[in-house]
Amino acid sequence: MSQSKLCTLFYGALVVCVSLACGSVEPATSVASVAAEGEDANVVLRQTAMPEMGVDRLGSILNRYYKEGLGGAENWERVVSLRVAGRLKLSGGEFDFNAYQKKPHYIKMTIHGDHGDIRMGYDGRIAWHAVKRGSHAAEAMEPAQARRFIHGARFGNHLLYPYATGKRMEYLDTVPVDGTICHQIRVTLDTEYQVDYFVDVRTYLEIKVVNTDLRTGTVSWVVYEDYIREFGMPIAQKVVSYESDEWVSTLELDEVKVNSGIMPWMFKMPK
């Protein structure tokens, strides 16, 4: 299994929770209270995951998405980490899959097969990979691979922190996606990625997410199915990923644990 193929399946295999909050999540009321204490209101807004949005179309959709889809800011405050396990199907067969995530951007995943393990991780500084077969040591990813891996390493999604620097958000349309009517919201990032979110107009859960690498033109997307809720947050138990109109992987989860004592040192590149 090549490193480039693993980076391709990353979007469908690792980002298993549709929308985990990145960083500390504060209730919308904190914006006013902190600003009232003399803080710069603009700085506070940029650091708030779920602020109270305006009454325009985009703002109204995000308000409902935060409250109905994600379960509200109070639930998200309790979420610190996530551990999942399941089976990953690729064109070359089925593999055991385990992944860990911790706020704000720590990630580690292991794919186990008959011929060894492949591990990939990001500790907030270095994106690395290792093949546990013989004496292969862990090493830092090449820059292009690291850029793509880090893009998907976010604990949460880019609909959170709508006022953060380095992003532009816009409502595009309401469109059908495989028989489900969805709001389409586009987020353009200064990292040269564009992300289109398709949010069910009834449940306010994400149905599909399309990632476009504006630097290379590569388009990949994931489809989320079979939601459950843990700590009030939505988790898709089935995640199917595609790239360039071709199926890449299907991940089916059979174990989900929230706040299971994951520590930052666990994501460091092995020596």
Cα gap 72→57, rounded to integer Å: 19
pLDDT, one tens digit for every residue, the chain (271 residues): 444 444 444 433 443 333 333 333 333 334 444 444 545 778 888 888 899 998 999 999 999 999 999 988 888 778 888 899 999 999 888 999 999 998 878 899 999 987 778 899 999 899 999 987 655 688 999 999 999 988 887 777 999 999 999 999 999 999 999 999 999 999 999 999 999 999 999 999 999 999 999 999 999 999 999 999 988 889 999 999 999 999 999 999 999 998 888 888 889 998 7
Cα gap 201→190, rounded to integer Å: 28
Q: What is the dihedral of CA 26, 78, 270, 116, to 10 degrees?
A: -130
Cα gap 41→46, rounded to integer Å: 9
Label residues 26-39 b or e (16+ Cβ within 10 Å = b): bbbebbeebeeeee
Question: Could you tell me the pTM of the whole model?
Answer: 0.83
User: Distances in Å between the alpha carbon of 109 and those of 67, 128, 132, 138, 193?
Assistant: 30, 11, 13, 13, 23
**Which domains does the chain possess?**
3-165+228-267 (2.50.20)
Other beta carbons within 10 angstroms of residue 189's beta carbon come to 15
Angle at 216 between CA 185 and CA 4, to 5 degrees: 100
How far is the first Cα of the chain from the last one, in angstroms, to the nearest whole number?
Answer: 22
